[in-house]
Structures are given as structure tokens and as C-alpha cells.
Amino acid sequence: MANNNRKVVLVGTGMVGMSFAYAALNQSLCDELVLIDLNEVRAKGEAMDLNHGLAFSNSSMKIYFGNYSDCSDAEIVIICAGVAQKPDETRLHLLQRNTKVFEAIVPRVVSSGFDGIFLVATNPVDIMTRVTYELSGFNAAKVIGTGTTLDTARLRYLLGTYFEIDPRHIHAYVIGEHGDSEFVPWSQAIIAVKHINEMLAAYPDRYRMEDLEQITQNVRHAAYEIIKAKGSTYYGIGMAICRIVRAIFSNENSVFTCSVRLRGEYGLRKDVFIGNPCIINSSGANRILELSLTEEELEQLKSSYQILDENFLSIF
């Protein structure tokens, strides 16, 4: 990190961006938070509103409406700008529109002299992270997408309820595209101290593979369900972004299923960004943890990878 001032610039002060900002204020996540949005009036209003909460918080965070020159000495630029899914739209439907949005944002961040870490949440997040990587020319370790971090949190919550174990002690991941082709490699799932297969074998009347497959389906469809019910999803992703930012600032070496650029893992050589467990610290995402997938899981990952690669190539 360049200095001791933990400065974050947030581009996109819509529902996702402001859910992050509100959580960040409550968690005293950084020292300085700059808000940028195409809709300047909204961003100014959001800055005012958050500042009025400072007196009730433990934070002395400096929060203000800014512009791209504010990125020059920031540690992290978070991008939540762009269009969100409407009911019955997939995340991939947003690709063309959000690529145009990123073409208006990323070069301006880079021109400021920014030399920190990009964290992308805009959908389709894996491809938007790759777009950020291409537009910025940054080292891949410094371009991170939220990937399947939220999906993994949803999975752990549902498994925690099913097995009646605190989700923080469930070690299971959703990997692949943050979207319809994502999947759970069950061969890698540990429930507290036991492999999931041992749990199924030990309690056949209580726990069944069919239930786990239903949980996978519920995770995959969670966003659709929330969007149908309330228009969009934002609190969960806001918390996920906060958690990743904390891991960067505190140099934690924590593991998240962020969207990261593969470098030959799984025999997949091209530079696709995809959700996979990786170590997050103050250098960004510089270690990818390759899972020992079964053949079937590897096929699922390859299919997700192909969808992401083909869609990225379709932009040009």
C-alpha cells in the first residue's frame, strides 16, 4: 500500500454502490471514501446523507463527492456503475451496455495516475473484470472481480441452515461464472471437520445429495428470486465488497472466490477471469488456489470458462 491513508473511490452510487458505502461507514472500513457517478446530483446527495450519519458512527471517515482526479492516490477503486438486471434478464444480457459504461470509466481512472487495485462488481462481473483488465493494462493481480463471492456466501448460509452449523465453519465454494453456469464442486466441501460425503454416509436418513443439489439450484436462482421480489439485490453484495476491501487493507491472505485471471490452472491457458478460490492481500489477488476437481467438475468449469470467453470475444 502506498500510504497509511486508506482511500477508496467508489464509481457508481446506485443500490449496490451505496449498500457498500453504508456498510463501509458502519464498519469504519477506510479513512476516505470518494463517490463518483454519472448522475452527479445523486452522488452529491448520497455523500450528504452518509455524512449526516457520521455523528452516530464510530468512524471519522472523510466522505465526499468527487471526480476521477481523486483516484490518483486511492488504494482501491470499486466499480459498481452500469445497468442492473431486470426480471427475466440474465447477467450476460448486460454485457454490451456495461462495456460502454466501462469504456467511459476505466481510462479516466488510469489517466489520473491511479496505481492501486480495481475491484469490480458490475455484471456480468467476470467479463467486466476482464474488460477492466484489458482497458487498464494493469497487472492481473490488481484487477479483481467479486466473482462468486456472494454466491459462496449464499451457499454457506444455506448449508449452515441445513446442517445446523455456523456458516463460518462451512468450507464449500461456488465457482465458475457468476451466473447460470456456476456450480458447487461438492468433492471439495468440508462441513466443520468432516468431508460432506462422510456427513451423507453417516446420516443417510437426515442428509441427502438431492437436498444439496436443490441448495445449488437455490443459490443459482437467488438473484432472480430477489429481483422478482424487490427489483434488485444489493445488501449481500455490499457486504461482500466490504469484506474483500478489508482483506486488502489488512493484508489478510483471506480466501474468497473472486473473479481472477487464470494462468494455466486446470489446464485452461487463456486469460479468462472466472470465480475461483484465491488469496486476497494488499497486493490484490496474486495466488490462485487450484482445486482438485473431479472429471465431471472440471467439465463444468470448462463449460463456464467457455461461456465467459465466447461472450467476451463477442464484444469486439
Q: What cell does 168 get?
A: 463460518
Minimum CB separation of residue 209 from ligand NAD in Å reads 27
Q: Which residues contact 316 (CB under 8 A, 6 or more apart)?
A: none
15 binds ligand NAD per the rule CB under 6 A? yes
Cell 443500490 belongs to 15
Minimum CB separation of residue 101 from ligand NAD in Å reads 4
Residue 271 and residue 308 in contact, taking contact as beta carbons nearer than 8 Å: no
17 binds ligand NAD per the rule CB under 6 A? yes
Please state at what angle helix 125-136 crosses helix 95-111, rounded to 10 degrees: 40
111 binds ligand NAD per the rule CB under 6 A? no
Residue 26 and residue 54 in contact, taking contact as beta carbons nearer than 8 Å: no
Q: Which of 243, 279, 246 is nearest to 260 (CA)?
A: 279
The b-or-e profile of 100-129 (16+ CB within 10 A means b, else e) is: ebbeebbebbbebebebbbbbbbbbbbbbb
38 binds ligand NAD per the rule CB under 6 A? yes
Of the residues 32, 37, 75, 182, which one makes contact with ligand NAD according to CB under 6 A: 37
Which of 74, 196 has the CB closer to ligand NAD?
74
Q: Is 169 a catalytic residue?
A: no
77 binds ligand NAD per the rule CB under 6 A? no
Residue nearest ligand NAD by beta-carbon distance: 14
12 binds ligand NAD per the rule CB under 6 A? yes
Which of 156, 196 has the CB closer to ligand NAD?
156
Question: What is d(CA 31, CA 43) in angstroms, rounded to the nearest whole number?
Answer: 19
Question: What is d(CA 82, CA 102) in angstroms, rounded to the nearest whole number?
Answer: 8
80 binds ligand NAD per the rule CB under 6 A? yes
Of the residues 59, 99, 112, 233, which one makes contact with ligand NAD according to CB under 6 A: 233
Per-residue binding string, ligand NAD, 244-283, x by CB under 6 A, is: ----------------------------------------
Question: What is d(CA 248, CA 117) in angstroms, rounded to the nearest whole number?
Answer: 9
Question: What is d(CA 287, CA 223) in angstroms, rounded to the nearest whole number?
Answer: 29
Of the residues 90, 232, 282, 286, which one makes contact with ligand NAD according to CB under 6 A: 232
Minimum CB separation of residue 185 from ligand NAD in Å reads 19
Per-residue binding string, ligand NAD, 150-179, x by CB under 6 A, is: x---------------------------x-
By three-state DSSP, how is residue 54 classified? helix
Q: Is the dihedral of CA 68, 148, 286, 280 positive or negative?
A: positive
Q: Which of 132, 127, 85 is nearest to 105 (CA)?
A: 132
The residue annotated as part of the active site, out of 52, 93, 178, 221, is: 178
Q: Which residues contact 305 (CB under 8 A, 6 or more apart)?
A: 176, 262, 268, 272, 274
Question: What is d(CA 191, CA 199) in angstroms, rounded to the nearest whole number?
Answer: 8
Number of residues that bind ligand NAD (CB under 6 A): 33
Per-residue binding string, ligand NAD, 40-59, x by CB under 6 A, is: --x-----------------
Catalytic center residues: 178
**Residues found near ligand NAD in the complex (CB under 6 A):** 11-17, 37-39, 42, 80-85, 94, 98, 101, 104-105, 121-123, 125, 146, 150, 178, 232-234, 237
